């Protein structure tokens, strides 16, 4: 461990405040560190390892593909890419086409480019403005940092691209739409903003309004997508039909992948957008297997049963510690508990790791839970026992 820390300190830019642990293996919702200590993982790599660690079906599919081809580039047809696009579109229930990249930020960049090209109509005023929400998070590139409605992130890296407008709440968006607006981009559950779900009726009202104004509705499902909320998309849960959807995190089961999908199937022409690695044999093979696994547990009712059990245990944990937690938030397997102050939250996260359970922070005051969607009842029970020990040790 010390040698790895020394190498990291010497050769890796210090962009992360790393916890003092090195994980070396995993099994579904369990992780093991370099000393052999076992942890229950209620974070799944920040909603990435959706089918758990070391999933055999995904590993086997990847190994079989690696023995044939890993990459050829998008200058040629890629069978698993086409199959992954089909699976994603069919699971979404929308009539869309996909573009594959490598991350959520890239997916959101693609969405913004779609919106800006959609706004370029001959003989009309150029529509280029994109409205997002305060407390949103859309990525770490120059453009997606600017799209993110958190002022503290708009710091050293300017000047930033023009054209981003921030609404205080979902109810304020309509008043900000003008002749230059091409799109509104929102997360239906703000992840980094505190696991905050938007009001369902307000979202539906906004979707209807934007249709009437010919303004695109972009739903950033980088964290909420791929069954995280119990449906394939949070958009399905909210019963809306967006124009553009972005996905990443849980889609590859740990392999980097991002997707932007849209109903505007002819918006891009050859050369308008591209990615060297996006949609290659490795990432889309993983995505195909992940979607198949999650489709199966969704159809069987196993996913909803796990969500219900986790929610029940979280409710009991919340009820037993009302002196520490002020409210319970979230949807599906994207949950949070508001903590009375940020210092207590930091202590909970650190102590939880010592007790053998991994949890996350969201915003200033939220303890965030993003477990693997394949988590077992035994793993859930073990995790909450560790969390109860954590609070006893505060």
* Domains in the chain, number: 2
Within a domain: 63: no
For residues 82 and 224, membership in a common domain is answered with yes
Residue 192 has pLDDT above 90, yes or no: no
We report the CATH number of the domain holding residue 147 as: 3.40.640.10
Residue 333 has pLDDT above 80, yes or no: yes
Mean pLDDT value across residues 263-275:
95
Residue 1 has pLDDT above 80, yes or no: no
Domain's final residue, options 272, 299, 326 = 299
Q: Report the predicted TM-score, pTM, of the whole model to 2 decimal places.
A: 0.96
Cα–Cα distance measured from residue 197 to residue 372, given in angstroms and rounded to the nearest whole number: 20
Residue 368 has pLDDT above 80, yes or no: yes
Range of the domain at 21: 2-55+301-392
pLDDT per residue as tens digits for the range 136-188: 999 999 999 999 999 888 988 999 999 999 999 999 999 999 999 999 999 99
State residue 105's pLDDT score. 98
For residues 239 and 308, membership in a common domain is answered with no
Domain's final residue, options 277, 299, 321 = 299
For residues 295 and 308, membership in a common domain is answered with no
Domain's final residue, options 299, 316, 343 = 299
State residue 2's pLDDT score. 80
pLDDT band at 394 (very low <50, low <70, confident <90, very high): confident
Within a domain: 62: no
Alpha-carbon dihedral of residues 19, 106, 84, 82, nearest 10 degrees? -150
Q: What percent of the chain has pLDDT over 70?
A: 99
Residue 240 has pLDDT above 80, yes or no: yes
State residue 121's pLDDT score. 77
pLDDT per residue as tens digits for the range 11-70: 999 999 999 999 999 999 999 999 999 999 999 999 999 999 999 999 999 999 999 999
Within a domain: 285: yes
The CA–CA distances, whole Å, from 119 to 41, 164, 166, 182, 307 equal 43, 14, 19, 5, 40
State residue 125's pLDDT score. 81
We report the CATH number of the domain holding residue 330 as: 3.90.1150.10
pLDDT per residue as tens digits for the range 87-101: 999 999 999 999 999
State residue 193's pLDDT score. 86
Within a domain: 320: yes
pLDDT, averaged across the chain: 96
For residues 169 and 265, membership in a common domain is answered with yes
Residue 123 has pLDDT above 80, yes or no: no
């Amino acid at each position: 461990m010390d040698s790895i820390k020394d190498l990291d300190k010497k050769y890796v830019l210090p962009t992360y405040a790393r916890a003092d642990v090195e994980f070396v293996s995993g099994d579904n919702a369990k992780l093991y560190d370099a000393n052999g200590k076992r942890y229950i993982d209620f974070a799944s790599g920040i909603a990435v390892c959706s089918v758990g660690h070391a999933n055999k079906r995904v590993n086997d599919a990847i190994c079989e593909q690696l023995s044939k081809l890993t990459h050829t580039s998008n200058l040629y047809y890629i069978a698993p890419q086409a199959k992954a696009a089909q699976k994603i579109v069919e699971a979404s229930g929308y009539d869309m086409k996909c573009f594959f990249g490598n991350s959520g930020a890239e997916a959101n960049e693609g969405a913004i480019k779609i919106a800006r090209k959609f706004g370029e109509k001959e003989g009309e005023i150029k529509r280029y403005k994109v409205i997002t929400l305060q407390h949103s998070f859309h990525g770490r590139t120059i453009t997606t940092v600017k799209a993110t409605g958190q002022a503290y992130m708009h710091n050293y890296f300017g000047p930033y691209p023009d054209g981003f407008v921030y609404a205080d709440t979902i109810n304020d968006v309509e008043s900000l739409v003008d002749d230059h607006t091409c799109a509104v981009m929102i997360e239906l559950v703000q992840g980094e903003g505190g696991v905050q779900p938007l009001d369902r009726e307000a979202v539906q009202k906004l979707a209807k309004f934007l249709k009437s104004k010919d303004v695109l509705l972009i739903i950033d499902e980088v964290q909420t997508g791929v069954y995280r909320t119990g449906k394939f998309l949070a958009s399905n849960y909210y019963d809306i039909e967006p124009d553009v959807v972005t996905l990443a995190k849980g889609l590859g089961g740990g392999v980097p992948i991002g997707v932007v999908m849209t109903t505007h199937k002819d918006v891009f022409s050859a050369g308008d957008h591209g990615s060297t690695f996006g949609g290659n044999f490795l990432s889309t093979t993983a995505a195909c297997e992940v979607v198949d696994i999650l489709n199966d547990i969704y159809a069987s009712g196993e996913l909803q049963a796990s969500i219900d059990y986790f929610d029940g245990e979280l409710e009991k944990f919340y009820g037993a510690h009302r002196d520490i937690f002020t409210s319970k938030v979230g949807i599906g397997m994207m949950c949070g508990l508001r903590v009375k102050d940020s210092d207590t939250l930091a202590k909970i996260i650190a102590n939880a790791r010592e007790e053998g359970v991994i949890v996350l922070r969201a915003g200033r005051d939220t303890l965030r839970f993003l477990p693997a969607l394949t988590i077992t009842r035994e793993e859930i029970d073990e995790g909450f026992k560790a969390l109860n020990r954590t609070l006893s040790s505060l």
